[in-house]
Amino acid sequence: MIEWTTSPFFGVALSVLAFWAGTRLQKKTGLVICNPLLVGILLVIAVLVVFKIPYENYNEGGALINLFLSPATACLAVAIYSKVKLLKENWLPILVGCTVGSLTSMGSVWLLCRLFGLSDAMTASLLPKSVTTPIAVSVAEAHGGISSITVVAVIFTGIFGSIVAPFLIRLFRVKDPVAAGLSIGACSHAMGTSKALELGETEGAMSGLAIGVCGLITVVVSMFLL
């Protein structure tokens, strides 16, 4: 069994099937915690552990999937361009909101890492937790971080944000859909955006726009914090 798992097609097929299963599970349950990405990761781990398949074998195909992270980052420009009219109409609140959100996220992580005496590598791994995975991994690796820790931090942040975002919006009585969408996208990237789309079209659009803008801000600010 170990022999055929060395094929790159094994890692790709297992990843696709696991994500598909996660998507089906979320549609059936409707639970935010059943996020397709989280479920997919758990299923992949379960298969590797149960059948005692070396991670190196799986990564033959997993590495192929990682190749698409960089193009995925460039695709964020398309999302920004598609919302250019909305961006022009609300450029000041978008810029201020995304800047404050990014600085708060990165600043709090940096201070906590210094407070608890974490290493520079761990700090670099956790600092970009609130941006989408391709950008977060690129930022972490550029500053000596550990990409696997970054991915876990990004997933946890996204799931937590998508769960608590509707509650916080009601708690603080946020009525403006632009403000609601920006806050969700700035803190919990793509996973939060999926929840923002459930709140409304404008919330989803602004959340998607915040992903790209916050990603750019994070790349620039990280050069001064790390």
Instruction: State what percent of residues in the chain have pLDDT above 70.
Output: 95
Write the pLDDT tens digit of every residue in 64-79.
887 777 676 677 677 6
Write the pLDDT tens digit of every residue in 2-15.
667 778 888 889 99
Judged by DSSP in three states, 52 sits in coil
Average pLDDT over the chain reads 86
pTM given for the model: 0.78
> With the CA atoms of 140, 136, 154 and 119 taken in that order, what torsion angle do they form, in degrees rounded to the nearest 10?
20
Which residues does 34 contact at the CB level (< 8 Å), separation at least 6? 22, 25, 26
Q: Tally Cβ neighbours within 10 Å of residue 93.
A: 14
> Which region, left, alpha or beta, applies to residue 117 given φ > 0 means left and ψ of -120 to 50 means alpha?
left
What ranges do the domains of the chain cover?
Answer: 4-67, 71-225
How many alpha carbons lie under 13 Å from residue 38 in its C-beta half-sphere?
A: 17
Write the pLDDT tens digit of every residue in 24-83.
998 888 777 787 878 888 999 999 999 888 888 888 887 788 777 767 667 767 766 777
Give DSSP secondary structure letters for 107-143. HHHHHHHHHTT--HHHHHHHTTTTS-HHHHHHHHHHT
Lowest mean pLDDT among 27-36, 49-58, 161-170, 205-214: 27-36
pLDDT of residue 112: 95
